[in-house]
Structure 1
Amino acid sequence: MTNKSHEDDVAFIQALAELLRKNDLTELQVKRAYAEDDSLNVRVSRAAPQVIAAPVQVASAPVAAPVETAPAPAAVSEDPASLPGAVTSPMVGTVYMQAEPGSPAFVSLGAQVSEGDTLLIVEAMKTMNHIPAPRSGKITRILVEDGSTVEFGAPLVVIE
């Protein structure tokens, strides 16, 4: 593969990621066939934000009446990684919320955690990596689902 072809593929993947973000999609998959033995198969995805049953108040957002329900999740979920207390994934992998199937989850919404407590596990290359709480506080948001794939830097939970 030539460097020009590599640059074209990178530009194509970046365009797909931008399309994903602009249209608020969670996943895109495309297969490009160049020749009989040359193709590019790309899957771009991001974790879908979980719906939280408890009302969420954003300090910087003015309160207006009536409040529309559709725009609120988009405003809150635009960039969860920038929220204070967001814990992000240190690696690409698969998220597990409990130590083994059938056991209780490490954390739940509203749970109090202490610094160093295991929040969840990210499996990468058959290695189970325990993700510790960087500080003590209350779990106010869980942004991933058990068994979902996460990217480096993806927000996992928010601790306040």
Structure 2
Amino acid sequence: MAKFEMDTEFVRKLAEILEENDLGEIELADGDRRIRIARPAVTYAAAPMAVPAGATPVAAAPSTAPPAANDLAKHAGAVKSPMVGTAYLAPEPGKPNFVSIGDKVTAGQTVLIIEAMKTFNPIKAPKAGTVMQILIENAQPVEFGEALMIVE
């Protein structure tokens, strides 16, 4: 059986097509070789809220939440996901994280890994600087182009 070579640039281009056309998945087949790229489905459900009889609902306070992930993806120091997969902050369970907030990093230093199609892909710092924010949790699913951390 011949070894299946993965062209990561081709996979990235497929992920870009998926994002640009707002598709849920793309699947291609060439003989017995097959590749499927899918975006995780995100569903939001509002839980019903019970208000006791006679109680007056209180207006929600304005949000002081951090900027939305889409806004952070435009940040000059954003480390973005080059693929759909599961992000890991450490090289393996029980080991220390690659980086923490406040750590100095060099351009090209591995800051996390993303598992996609049973392959662990190192994600490198695009520039030297300090890790200002880590925007994901360990073992979190991520999407193509999603901001993962901020390096300034």
AA partner of residue 142 (structure 1): I
Aligned residue number for residue 44 of structure 1: 42
TM-score (norm 2): 0.59
Equivalent residue in structure 1 for 2:120, among 124, 128, 131: 128
How far did 1:151 drift?
0.5
How far did 1:73 drift?
1.7
| 1:126–1:117 distance in 2 versus 1, CA, 3 Å | same
- 1:104 is the counterpart of 2:96: yes
| 1:122–1:70 distance in 2 versus 1, CA, 3 Å | farther
Equivalent residue in structure 1 for 2:131, among 136, 139, 142: 139
How far did 1:84 drift?
1.7
Aligned residue number for residue 77 of structure 1: 68
Q: Return the alpha-carbon distance in structure 1 between the equivalents of residues 127 and 43 of structure 2.
A: 29
Aligned residue number for residue 90 of structure 1: 82
AA partner of residue 81 (structure 1): A
How many pairs are equivalent?
97
Aligned residue number for residue 150 of structure 1: 142
**Could you list the runs of 5+ residues in structure 2 that have no partner in the other structure?**
1-21, 23-39, 45-60
* Structure with higher helix content: 1
How far did 1:105 drift?
0.1
- 1:116 is the counterpart of 2:108: yes
After superposing on structure 2, the runs of 4+ consecutive aligned residues of structure 1 that deviate more than 3 Å are none
TM-score (norm 1): 0.56
Q: Return the alpha-carbon distance in structure 2 between the equivalents of residues 107 and 89 of structure 1.
A: 16
Q: Return the alpha-carbon distance in structure 2 between the equivalents of residues 139 and 102 of structure 1.
A: 21
Q: Return the alpha-carbon distance in structure 2 between the equivalents of residues 141 and 77 of structure 1.
A: 13
Q: Return the alpha-carbon distance in structure 1 between the equivalents of residues 85 and 110 of structure 2.
A: 16
